[in-house]
Amino acid sequence: MTAKLRKKVCTFAFDFQHHNKKDVRLDFQKSIANSQATLPIVGGLTFILWFVLPPLHSSISYSASDYGLWHYVPSFLQEGYWTLVISAILAAWAVYLLAELNNANVLLRVNSRMLSSMLSLLLCLMVLCHGFQPGMVVMLLSLMSFFPLFSSYQSSMPQPPFVASLLVSIASLVFPKWLWMMLVYWFILGLFRALSLRSFVSSLLALILPYWLYGGVAFLTSTFPDFMIHLQMMVDFQRGDYGQLEFRDVVTFLFVVLLFVVGAVDFSVHQFMDKTRTRIIYNSLISYGVFIIIGVCVQPQYLWVLLPLLMLPTSIVFGHFFTLTYTKFSHICCIVLMVLAVAVLVVQYLPDNLLFQLLTSNF
């Protein structure tokens, strides 16, 4: 009896020791993913850095006709203290909406705020997003459109597609080429088995409505030529201008793409663990992200307008990976990506010619 008891004690001690070793190895990732304090800490850090980080040595102008009605925004709102305050409000609103989207659609199998924390972290790292610019407005409206879009799952009601399409159309008023995103929305409606003649017609009416109002106002105010230029910019695709991209632009874009690919591949491998509706939502977000990546590759001059939009699916799919995948590889991968995140922030403040000299000094 004593020998059996001794054997059980030794077995329990070995299992406990092995369990503790495993927990020590993965506890860091688990504690971040499952802690309710993660979002307040990341949000507070983002808020501080948002106003503390100095502006970059170069900025981007959004006054061209490529950005539709954006030239009507007063210039004082796009510079100085006001641009930081307005962009911070938009960013905080987007982080809150992503938390509500997670609650409404149960995007994670556990109670976690990792999706919102990831979006807050990405917005914090991209210094050019700390200003009031069209990409932040389009990102917020696109995030709002996810609510009616996801609620249309296996529904024949035309109202959700109408609202989602209306938000896309409103967003295109400040970035006309965003209207092409409706191709992806119709594809997603097809995945949701919600694309019918009624929903398609309702989405077309929603796309027309803002432009019908804009055209009427432009006619009454004798600015109808501006309205026609706006329509022309939807289909005026120029050759991609890769020469205007700086090293920091390439690094930040590749970093977000890396996070997106890691999250998308991990979900594709482990999607059998989620419910059917959740799987379809994630696959729709992956197609959404792929479309934006293709858009940046084809039209790189719009990188800093499309990058905040790419952060939405990236935050969700990588947040899913960080929260629900606990392996040696995921732990090492997350640590490496944290180090890369700090490097991305530092690279944005280095002179572009200095980086070029460092890269070419060995040749």
pLDDT tens digits, one per residue of 73-113:
888 888 888 889 999 999 999 999 999 999 999 898 888 88
Is residue 356 in a domain? yes
| pLDDT on residue 19 | 44
Segment 142-172, tens digit of pLDDT: 999 999 999 999 888 889 999 999 999 999 9
Label residue 8 exposed, middle or buried (CB < 10 Å: 0-12, 13-18, 19+).
exposed
Q: Are 362 and 253 in contact (CB under 8 A)?
A: no
Is residue 300 in a domain? yes
Angle 247-270/114-125 helices, nearest 10 degrees? 160
Q: 241 phi and psi, to 5 degrees? A: -100, 85
Q: How far is CA 235 from CA 179, 182, 183, 238, in A?
A: 10, 14, 14, 9
Amino acid symbol at 142: S
Is residue 225 in a domain? yes
Is residue 250 in a domain? yes
In 3D, which of 350, 324, 341, 283 has the Cα closest to residue 123? 341
What span, in angstroms and rounded, lies between the C-alpha atoms of 356 and 297? 21
Question: In 270-294, which positions are buried (b, 16+ CB within 10 angstroms) versus exposed (e)?
Answer: eeeebeeebebbbbbbbebbbbbbe
Q: How far is CA 229 from CA 44, 68, 226, 232, 352, in A?
A: 42, 8, 5, 5, 35
Is residue 126 in a domain? yes
Tokens 């989620």 correspond to 274
What value, to the nearest 5°, has the Cα angle with vertex 244 and ends 289 and 47? 55
Number of domain units in the chain: 1
Torsion sign (Cα): 349, 93, 40, 281: negative
| pLDDT on residue 179 | 93
| pLDDT on residue 36 | 83
The stretches in the chain having pLDDT less than 70 are: 1-27, 57-58, 63-64, 352-363
69: how many CB neighbours lie within 10 A of its CB? 16
Is residue 17 in a domain? no
Q: The pTM is what?
A: 0.87
Is residue 40 in a domain? no
| pLDDT on residue 13 | 42
Domain, as residue range, for 199: 58-360
Is residue 16 in a domain? no
Q: Are 273 and 108 in contact (CB under 8 A)?
A: no
